[in-house]
């Protein structure tokens, strides 16, 4: 197990560390366990000459971020202080025997020479990743959009050649770009890609849900594991695509993904979703009767906080897009479970058991904070969870207190801690940092508190000098920059929850897909403090459309609200 004890033992014995990063769902991890790690010569060499550590990628994303060498499994040979000596991904038995002997011999004979060189390389690597702040500009989102267009595969859809991943953050960027520009080219990319993924081998037509990726350019032959994270993000994509393109048939895909998630991943005892379902090449080639006889692949029942928050966000999006209440109820159950199992009043746990107490040593990760705050804001924007806005602000304040860089701005991936190896140095990942900025921009729009916006823009400015190095993985950064540079639009509906006019106004506000939009329903008697703070008369059923700091006159007719929302959409230039 990763921890101080293992590295202390390595230093005492002056032995290198063999770090194996694997995942429950990883096919080649199982193959390596059954071959290389079952080889008697490898077993003997590892036991005699190394301190072995096995890390699960899903449980320890912080370790994986720093030591993954290009995929799973990762086989990393480390110094007793946790620096990388050598390594690869999957290593076959013959090669593994060679590695085990050679690396141990080199450490035994040349450690005094190696350590200063490794330290120098590490210092150079750290300085190369130092942030170079700059100003936010529309050209950033334009450059990222151009990069995505350059990667687009017009013949089969998707981006790049093979292997081909669904890349939901990139698809989200395109959905939001289309909502800003109404570009026919962007619409074609979206329809081609979404249609190809849902009709090809990436998709399970019998049980529903998406496999992790396709090994072929034409989406024909998948890697058969199914992940909660991927399916949650793709459920959001297809739900939002249905909201923007209601005649394209994406509602069928959204319902099918939920069918699989509810049937296979849902844990009634934990009121949350399991993490993944294993790959099984034979199972997924069978018909329904054959699958029933064969038995379903193993499901990892652990409950991951960030992935469950992503699922809650997706189910709320599906409920809104489909006009159905059941997905929203499931999302509420998930968020209640996270509050009970993952939040102790000061930090979030990354993984928990079905019932308290919490398990796992990992707490306070940025990826968990961001996903949970976003999901709480989504709950608030249903109009049915009035206390959620304060809860989101409280959790975001905790995230800032533990993870924000007070000197340079931006967010560290983990809290400061006395940790072995590379975990002692915190990092600022662009995807999670951009996602943190995005939720803070939403929070600023909903609360009117510009301190959230200031924190968000400082975080984004920190990546201006380096985002191009991230390639298509800068898509989330592009989305957040586009939001930061857009005038935020807030629709406020004032009226009783059972008033038919207020309900009709809220329905129109909910179906607007403005890419910089937010909405809130203030109910007299329930939200009197907010009404007084914002200056809205509680005795008048109306909607107000605010762009930046300018709000419309009261709007009482649903048709007039639709017209006003269409008018303010013109602040985005069409292409």
Evaluate if residue 353 carries a pLDDT over 70.
no
What value does the mean pLDDT take over residues 473-486? 97
Helix 93-128 and helix 40-49, axial crossing angle in degrees, nearest 10: 40
How much is the average pLDDT of 513-524? 97
Burial grade of 268 (CB within 10 A; 0-12, 13-18, 19 or more): exposed
pLDDT for 376 equals: 98
Mean pLDDT of 422-445: 96
pLDDT, average across residues 430-455: 97
What strand order describes the sheet that includes 84-88?
A: 51-56, 17-22, 74-78, 84-88
- Does residue 226 register a pLDDT over 70? yes
- pLDDT of 129 > 90? The answer is no
**Residue-averaged pLDDT of the chain:** 95
Is the pLDDT assigned to residue 54 strictly greater than 70?
yes
CA gap 206, 287 in Å, rounded: 8
Give pLDDT, residue 115. Answer: 84
User: What pLDDT does residue 120 have?
Assistant: 82
pLDDT tens digits, 354-382: 555 554 579 999 999 999 999 999 999 99
- pLDDT tens-digit map of 119-128: 888 777 766 5
User: Cβ distance 240 to 317 under 8 Å?
Assistant: yes
- E strand map for 194-347: 213-214, 222-223, 226-227, 266-267, 272-273, 276-277, 299-300, 303-304
> Other C-beta atoms within 10 Å of 160: how many?
13
Angle subtended at Cα 346 by Cα 340 and Cα 352, rounded to the nearest 5 degrees: 40
d(CA 394, CA 416): 20
Q: Residues with Cβ < 8 Å from 12, sequence gap 6 or more?
A: none
The token pair that represents 413 in the structure block: 């991936």
DSSP 132: -
Report all structural domains of the chain as residue ranges with CATH numbers, in order of start.
4-128 (3.40.30.10), 138-485 (1.50.10.10), 490-569 (3.40.30)
Quote the pLDDT of residue 116. 86
Q: What is the pLDDT of residue 404?
A: 98
CA distances from 252 to 235, 330, 499, 510, 511 (A): 11, 19, 32, 21, 18
386-428 residue pLDDT tens: 999 999 999 999 999 999 999 999 999 999 988 999 999 999 9
Q: What is the DSSP string of 199-229?
A: HSTTB-TTT--B-SEESSTTS-SEE--EEHH
């Amino acid at each position: 197990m990763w921890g101080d004890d293992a590295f202390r033992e390595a230093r005492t014995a002056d032995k290198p560390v063999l770090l194996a990063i694997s995942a429950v769902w990883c096919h080649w991890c199982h193959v390596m366990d059954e071959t290389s790690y079952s080889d008697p010569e490898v077993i003997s060499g590892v036991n005699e000459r190394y301190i072995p550590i096995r890390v699960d990628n899903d449980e320890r994303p912080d370790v994986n971020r720093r030591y993954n060498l290009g995929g799973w499994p990762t086989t990393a040979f480390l110094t007793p202080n946790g620096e990388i000596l050598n390594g690869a991904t999957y290593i076959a038995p013959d090669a593994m025997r060679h590695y085990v002997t050679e690396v141990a011999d080199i450490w035994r004979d040349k450690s005094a020479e190696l350590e200063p060189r490794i330290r120098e390389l590490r210092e150079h690597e750290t300085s190369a990743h130092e942030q170079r702040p700059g100003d936010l500009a529309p050209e950033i989102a334009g450059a990222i959009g151009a990069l995505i267009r350059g990667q687009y595969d017009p013949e089969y859809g998707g981006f790049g050649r093979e292997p081909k991943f669904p890349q939901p953050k990139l698809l989200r960027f395109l959905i939001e770009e289309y909502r800003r520009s109404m570009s026919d080219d962007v619409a074609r990319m979206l329809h081609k890609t979404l249609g190809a993924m849902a009709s090809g081998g990436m998709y399970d037509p019998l049980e529903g849900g998406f496999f992790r990726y396709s090994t072929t350019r034409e989406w024909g032959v998948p890697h058969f594991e199914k992940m909660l994270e991927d399916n949650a993000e793709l459920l959001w994509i297809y739900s939002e695509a249905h909201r923007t393109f209601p005649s394209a048939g994406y509602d069928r895909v959204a319902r099918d993904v939920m069918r699989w998630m509810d049937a296979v991943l849902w844990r009634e005892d934990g009121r949350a979703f399991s993490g993944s379902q294993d790959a099984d090449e034979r199972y997924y080639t069978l018909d329904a009767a054959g699958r029933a006889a064969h038995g379903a692949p193993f499901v990892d029942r652990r409950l991951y906080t960030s992935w469950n928050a992503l699922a809650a966000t997706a189910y709320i999006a599906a409920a809104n897009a489909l006009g159905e209440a059941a997905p929203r109820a499931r999302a509420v159950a998930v968020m209640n479970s996270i509050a009970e199992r993952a939040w102790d009043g000061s930090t979030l746990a990354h993984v928990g058991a079905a019932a308290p107490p919490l398990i796992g040593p990992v707490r306070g990760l940025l990826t968990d904070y961001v996903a949970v705050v976003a999901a709480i804001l989504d709950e608030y924007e249903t109009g049915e969870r009035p206390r959620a806005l304060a809860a989101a602000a409280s959790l975001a304040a905790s995230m800032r207190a533990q993870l924000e860089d007070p000197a340079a701005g931006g967010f560290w991936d983990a809290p400061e801690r006395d940790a072995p190896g590379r975990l002692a140095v915190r990092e600022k990942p662009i995807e999670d940092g951009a996602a943190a900025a995005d939720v803070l921009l939403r929070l600023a729009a909903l609360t009117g508190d510009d301190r959230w916006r200031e924190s968000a823009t400082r975080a984004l400015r920190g990546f201006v000098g380096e985002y191009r190095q991230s390639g298509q993985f800068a898509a989330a950064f592009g989305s957040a920059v586009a939001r930061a540079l857009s005038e935020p639009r807030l629709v406020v509906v004032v009226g009783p929850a059972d008033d038919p006019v207020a309900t009709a106004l809220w329905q129109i506000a909910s179906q607007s897909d403005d890419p910089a939009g937010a909405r809130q329903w203030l109910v007299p008697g329930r939200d009197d403090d907010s009404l007084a703070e914002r200056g809205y008369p509680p005795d008048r059923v109306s909607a107000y459309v605010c762009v930046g700091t300018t709000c419309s006159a009261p709007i009482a007719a649903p048709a007039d609200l639709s017209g006003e929302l269409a008018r303010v959409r013109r602040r985005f230039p069409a292409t």
